[in-house]
């Protein structure tokens, strides 16, 4: 059986920077209030005057990743695209990427696992490569949150957290023993689905019904998050997923060279860092600059860490995520 290795990385974020102070034009908040609760200083939001969309950003990140892998678009055998904010209700963004990059008629799979989207996508791609079905797979996480956030005091608990952006990785066949993805671990607990969700519009409550109701208090079409509840579960599940990945490979916490958690909240990442007794140079966070970019967060952070020389050959890299669903998981990589 083959193994799979990340051979190319890339990311793209919109140029438009939205600071915490900028948010005060829409809601009662402050830089101090936001930083204290989330660690976020600024985020990127798409400027509506630009061409950027979820798929466009994904394509921009993908071009960088493919070039860095030393490949061309024609070398890619399959696409896995993760997002909670597709350009269209259907079809998904994967086929848009295939078209935008002028690729052959390869398959394109969309993954809707929100904050765990990149972890799930990487795991799926890994299985295709391990079985020998594909050689090079493009894995993308991309989000346009700003187009659907409630820019008011009522919605600030969610709105201040999220940003836009995209990241991409090329996963390629590897025959070097002990290198690449060592294992992946995926979990879900759907009984908590409504604690972090966007309820409508959906096929249970479609657009005409919402318009006809004309209810100014209807928040079903804005994201809802029970922040304290999510936080409590996140710190538990993050830890479990990391421990599970280490144990599956006979490793200890001291073996971790770089932990890249999903950038949900800096306080969660700091809690996990303290629990695993990891030095600052062994955990990478960038939520202070980009906010929570959901399916894009891990791959953006992974790319930045690699660009900055913080990930080196033979390093043990652990990726972990928790989010809406609830879903969570981890991926253990020998770089």
Whole-angstrom Cα distance, residue 172 to residue 152?
A: 44
Considering only CA atoms, give the Rg of the chain. Answer: 19
Residues assigned a catalytic role: 115, 262, 292
256 and 182 Cβ atoms separated by less than 8 Å: no
Whole-angstrom Cα distance, residue 301 to residue 296?
A: 9
Whole-angstrom Cα distance, residue 98 to residue 7?
A: 20
57 and 81 Cβ atoms separated by less than 8 Å: no
Q: Is 103 exposed, middle or buried (0-12, 13-18, 19+ CB in 10 A)?
A: buried
Whole-angstrom Cα distance, residue 85 to residue 292?
A: 13
* Alpha-carbon distance values, 177 to 172, 185, 228, 258 (Å): 14, 20, 43, 21
Question: Percent helix, strand, coil in the chain (nearest 5)?
Answer: 40, 25, 35
The torsion angles phi and psi of 7, rounded to 5 degrees, stand at -110, -10
| CA distance from start to end of the chain | 18
59 and 79 Cβ atoms separated by less than 8 Å: no
273 and 256 Cβ atoms separated by less than 8 Å: no
Q: Which two tokens stand for residue 24?
A: 């005060």
Prior bond to 201 cis, omega within 30?
A: yes
């Amino acid at each position: 059986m083959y193994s799979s290795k990340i051979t190319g990385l890339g990311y793209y974020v919109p140029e438009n920077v939205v600071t915490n102070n900028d948010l005060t034009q829409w809601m009662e908040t402050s830089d101090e209030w936001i930083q204290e609760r989330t660690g976020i200083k600024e985020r990127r939001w798409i400027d509506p005057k630009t061409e950027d969309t979820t798929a466009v950003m994904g394509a921009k990140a993908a071009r960088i990743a493919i070039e860095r892998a030393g490949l061309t678009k024609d070398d890619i055998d399959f696409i896995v695209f993760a997002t909670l904010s597709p350009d269209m209700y259907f079809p998904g963004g994967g086929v848009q990427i295939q078209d935008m990059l002028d690729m052959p008629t390869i398959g394109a799979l969309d993954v809707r696992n929100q904050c765990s989207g990149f972890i799930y996508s990487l795991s799926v791609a890994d299985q295709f490569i391990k079985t020998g079905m594909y050689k090079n797979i493009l894995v993308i996480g991309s989000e346009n949150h700003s187009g659907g956030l409630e820019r008011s005091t009522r919605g600030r608990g969610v709105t201040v957290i999220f940003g836009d952006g995209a990241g991409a990785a090329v996963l390629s066949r590897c025959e070097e023993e002990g290198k690449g993805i060592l294992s992946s671990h995926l979990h879900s607990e759907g009984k908590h689905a409504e604690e972090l969700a966007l309820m409508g519009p959906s096929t249970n409550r479609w657009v005409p019904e919402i318009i006809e109701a004309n209810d100014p208090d209807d928040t079903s079409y804005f994201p809802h998050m029970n922040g304290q509840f999510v936080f409590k579960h996140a710190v538990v599940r993050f830890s479990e997923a990391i421990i599970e990945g280490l144990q599956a490979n006979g490793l200890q916490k001291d073996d971790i060279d770089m932990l890249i958690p999903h950038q949900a909240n800096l306080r969660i990442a700091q809690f996990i860092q303290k629990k695993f007794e990891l030095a600052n140079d062994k955990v990478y966070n960038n939520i202070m600059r980009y906010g929570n970019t959901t399916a894009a967060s891990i791959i953006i952070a992974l790319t930045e860490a690699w660009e900055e020389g913080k990930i080196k050959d033979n390093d043990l890299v652990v990726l972990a995520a928790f989010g809406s669903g609830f879903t969570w998981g981890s991926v253990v990589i020998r770089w």
